[in-house]
Chain A
Amino acid sequence: MKYIEEFQDPALARRLLDDIHATVTRPWALMEVCGGQTHSIIRHGIDQLLPEQVELIHGPGCPVCVTPLEVIDKALEIASRPDVVFCSFGDMLRVPGTGRDLFQVRSEGGDVRVVYSPLDALRIAQENPGRQVVFFGIGFETTAPPNAMTVHQAKKLGIRNFSLLVSHVRVPPAIEAIMRSPSCRVQGFLAAGHVCSVMGVGEYPELAARHRVPIVVTGFEPLDILEGVRRAVRQLERGEHTVDNAYARAVRPEGNPAALAMLEDVFEVTDRAWRGIGVIPDSGWRLSARYRDFDAEHRFSVSGINTQEPAECRSGEVLQGLLKPHQCEAFGTLCTPRSPLGATMVSSEGACAAYYLYRRLELKTVPAAATTPPQEASTVV
């Protein structure tokens, strides 16, 4: 076990790994939904510590990566307008639109500002009453409630020069879409812990039962991920498929009721396009009718944008777990963090970035250590 000493508690990590090795009898494919988990897995070589039979498939859980090109292009167009202050989180700066990114828009004179919180954007609007302030509202269920609260505040305080370019996405419909895909190989899910901190586990039992797939709510630390894998593998070996919360210290089954109530007030569920994947029914939020005035797409006419995905980029397959990043022809050659073809190469939570960052070109090259019980040789393809 090459890097196990790097774990916070190497002894516990070893125990968890030994248990997984002892439990596995057949090949299993698990998907970690969250890009933060992907980075933790690759950084700590967790996929290489697991038995040969357990394959981790990287999921679509990076909001930056799945924001459609069309929305990025709308953002670039709005941000280029002289009357606009365009506010965004920092990790959207280098996400490629058609031909350029927000970073370039600023160098061309656009007033693009990076904020830590959507409330910062609202403050900028208060301080600049003569200008239109637009906030780029992307993100999963963790980010949607803060953005919802900000719009609610804007309305409450009567701030008219603030609007939101909304592209929020929801995890459960994405899981549904992955399971429905004819090429799906996923047999169990490690659900994204922080999404569940907000949403609770409400939508998961039905998904788990219908697709007969275990869903284990999992955190980000290496030990959390090992524990998530351990519980998922146990269920699979026993033929079970329930929802299990392995991240109870940050996830209550009911989630955060105040945040859920605000989401319900400000947003409504809508179909959303995912970059590289296409439209997934009910997989996103848009502003509800009461808050439509704060919708940047209505305020600025940015329809009719012609988008063009680079033909070489296979991030759609990467995001669905059908392809590992290094299996993309462009990986590391045509596509690098310096000149990314897809958002998955540039986002801090993108799978292509993780592989590039840790120069992970082969998988499963480190055999399981001899300290674990001998396993029947069986290769996961």
Chain B
Amino acid sequence: MCLAVPGRVLDIGEKDGTRMATVDFGGVQKEVCLEYLPDLRVGEYAIVHVGFALQRLDEESARQTLALFEELGMLQEEFGDPWEQAALQAGADSPWPFADGPYAGEAAARQAATPEEAQEGRQ
């Protein structure tokens, strides 16, 4: 939730006296408030957090960051169905959304840590 996500401005309008835009985040579109970045223009990229554009970003960085966040599952988290995710979490330890991480192989072999293992890890 704390991470802002880069998006591209598609169009700009006004709502309740507030400058608003439609912003595209790698395919998902959201209404975004431009009051904190009033001179942002159509076609430009910005980092957007909880519906507010907070800082301009160049296109190349925006694309790279979007790709990373997608890989980390953060886009799913930001724009997916939170009830579904919470239910999944509440009902099952696995699958975790990104259980295909670099440790997935080890994960299969080693389920949850036992207290002994946790103890071993102490330094």
Contacts and interface: CB of A to CB of B under 8 A. Distances in A.
A272 to B, nearest CB: 16
A286 interface: no
B51 interface: yes
Which of B51, B61, B122 has the most A CB atoms < 10 Å from its CB?
B51
A362 B65 CA distance: 28
Contacts of B47: 194, 197, 250
Interface in A106-159: 114, 116-120, 139-140, 142-143, 145-146, 149, 153, 156-157
Nearest to A140: B2
Contacts of B118: 326-329, 331-333, 361
Interface string B91-123: 111001011011110110010111101101111
B3 interface: yes
B49 A142 contact: yes
B71 to A, nearest CB: 8
B86 A93 contact: yes
A337 interface: yes
Nearest to A195: B2
Interface of A: 2-3, 6, 8, 34-36, 39-40, 43-45, 61-64, 89-91, 93-94, 103, 114, 116-120, 139-140, 142-143, 145-146, 149, 153, 156-157, 192, 194, 197-198, 219-222, 249-252, 256, 258-259, 262, 324, 326-329, 331-333, 336-338, 346, 348-349, 356-363, 381
Nearest to A143: B50
A252 B55 CA distance: 9
Given A103-B87, A258-B38, A381-B123, 9 more contacts: A64-B1, A91-B1, A116-B78, A117-B31, A194-B2, A250-B61, A259-B36, A262-B36, A329-B115
23 contacts: A8-B67, A43-B72, A94-B89, A94-B90, A103-B86, A114-B82, A116-B79, A117-B30, A119-B33, A192-B2, A220-B68, A221-B64, A256-B36, A262-B36, A326-B118, A328-B118, A331-B113, A349-B1, A357-B101, A359-B110, A361-B110, A362-B121, A363-B121
A157 B17 CA distance: 10
B72 A61 contact: no
B50 A116 contact: yes
A301 B58 CA distance: 47
B57 interface: yes
Given A44-B102, A256-B36, A256-B54, A346 B89 contact: yes
B35 A194 contact: no
A197 B55 contact: yes
A221 B120 CA distance: 31
B2 A40 contact: no
A45 B102 contact: yes
A221 B65 contact: yes
B12 to A, nearest CB: 16
Given A146-B49, A249-B57, A36 B82 contact: no
Given A8-B68, A43-B102, A143-B2, A327 B86 contact: no
A93 B1 contact: no
Contact of A359 (B85, B90, B106): B106
B37 interface: yes
A93 B68 contact: no
A89 B96 contact: no
A255 to B, nearest CB: 8
Contacts of A197: 4, 47, 54-55
Interface string B60-74: 010011011101111
A338 B103 contact: no
Contacts of A89: 1, 50, 82
A360 B103 contact: yes
